[in-house]
Structure 1
């Protein structure tokens, strides 16, 4: 397939989870100005999102979505096909929760597992898996962008579950780096620092999100981009991270060949 390369948002179909507010809504607004057609996938919309949606009904739609439910994520594909006559080109796993009272390490309110990990950890992995399956099936290039956090690069004692999930997302995105060249699906992650009116704004983070999607030359698969009020830079991988793709292919086979139906099967 070859590397995805540069991937302008103009004309692309974009699905964004957690886009009812915050940096994901800011990204939706920016992607709209760039000519993208967009599915906002969230439990609900803020007033700002409702007002924005009212002005762009033909090119931006809202689909209620509980990202912890596989069926809801799969439905996003069907909605895209029914509304825009094709599957999404860009998949942004943006939904996340920070230290909810019902699901956190210190309050220890749950007996089996932690519900917050379903949002912060499992949902981005499932969305990426769905994206890769669909894109390979249609023989289309595409981009998966995971919204991680600076908490995925540094210790965060106050909320170890959030930190663990975001560290996992950094590792997952890096581990999926070879999908760019081998499968034609570029997977990357952004790690924003504190985002509010007193530091970097959602709009500033959205600009960097768009750059990660569009600039495949500067940001190839596996890129981890950290952003803060002070600076934006690619987070370097740990020493010894570089792995020959021949070793991976030889040990487990090309992952794309293991997908049901194979490349182009969904055409």
Structure 2
């Protein structure tokens, strides 16, 4: 079974980084399409606060530091608090991200223990996906997780090597998780925007970055443009698990890769199915156990 077409009406979405930019644009589109949304972010911009207050309870906010796994683990319970005890999120958007701040930079190298930018951009989407799968499997319902990467996730840039590496990481993760669509009825996809007109480029603090990367508004798409592409990836059956979509001024909807050719199911050659049955066995056993126990455990062996 695969997720297939997944209309968002009457569903619940979780959006990390939903307090501004692309994430907020998606929240706005989701609630206009009849969905509820939980914004998980450090804070709300005035625009986001206005949306929450005017949504008649369909949009809620929780303070969330995506580098703190206890914050991420609390999201399912926050969904229930916001939208009812039986509410379970159907759509999960890993949207929180940072570009190349001096406080977490390979070039300036000021951190003592780790690059926090990697925690935000790479670890948090992977952990959110794990939580999302446990939540949906435990509720015996299909789900979708969309990770926001970047065009930098398939290219390199000498000026922002750490950022590029973090975005490459989630592209590789998404491709690796394609089989979950067929095995677990859970679709994981990734969108790779080009330059987007967000506070990253338009804010007061971005002036030096703008000069370094020759930013101009005419090469940008809007957060709403990206949100529309995200909605397409989530709702349309042609975007199976593991799919990658580039969206930019030059290529608004460019399917970079679909994992359809790599799926392993009942129609696969016997030798490939036999190989997959052994290779994927530990993964399938863990997910099967989580489905049985209602998704309430972590670290199941």
TM-score under structure 2 normalisation? Answer: 0.83
Supply the distance in 2 between the matched residues of 1:48 and 1:251 (Cα, whole angstroms). 48
The CA distance in 1 between the partners of 2:154 and 2:258, in whole Å, is 11
Change (3 A) 1:60 1:105: same
Give distance in 1, aligned partners of 2:125 and 2:62: 17
**Equivalences for 1:12-27 in 2 at 5 Å?**
12-27=11-26
After TM superposition, the structure 1 = structure 2 runs for residues 111-126 of structure 1, keeping only pairs within 5 Å, are: 111-126=112-127
Q: Which residue of 2 aligns with 1:258?
A: 286
Which residue of structure 2 lines up, in the alignment, with residue 108 of structure 1? 109
Q: 1:223-250 CA deviation, whole Å, 9 max, x = no partner?
A: 0000001112111379xx9475633331
Distance 1:3 1:252, change over 3 A: closer
User: Match for residue 87 of structure 2?
Assistant: 86
Cα separation, 2, equivalents of 1:55 and 1:243: 43
Q: Distance in 1 between matches of 2:26 and 2:36?
A: 12
Shift of 1:11: 0.4
Q: Distance in 2 between matches of 1:214 and 1:237?
A: 15
Cα shift at 1:259? 3.5
Aligned length: 263
Deviates more, 1:83-92 or 1:120-129: 83-92
Counterpart among 206, 223, 229 of residue 202 in structure 1: 223
Contact 2:178 2:263 in 1 (8 A): no
Equivalent-residue separation in structure 2 for 1:212 and 1:230 (angstroms)? 19
Aligned position for 1:61: 60
Distance 2:23 2:141 in 1: 24
C-alpha distance after superposition, 1:152-203 (max 9, x if no partner): 0111111111100100111101110110010000000000000125321111
Residue 189 (structure 2) pairs with residue 169 (structure 1): no
**Structure 1: gaps spanning 5 or more residues:** none
Q: Counting helix residues as a fraction of each chain, which structure ranks higher? A: 2
Cα contact 1:138–1:265 (8 A) shared by 2: no
> Deviation at 1:265?
2.6
Contact 1:16 1:41 in 2 (8 A): yes
Aligned to 1:229: 249
Q: Deviations over 1:127-162 (max 9, x none)?
A: 000111111111110000000000001111111111
Q: Judge conservation of contact 1:14–1:37 (CA < 8 Å) in 2.
A: yes
Higher relative contact order (CA 8 A, sep 6+): 1
CA distance in 1, matches of 2:161, 2:288: 37
CA distance in 1: counterparts of 2:31 and 2:249, whole angstroms: 25
- Measure how far apart 1:15 and its partner are: 0.2
Q: CA RMSD in A?
A: 1.8
Shift of 1:260: 7.5
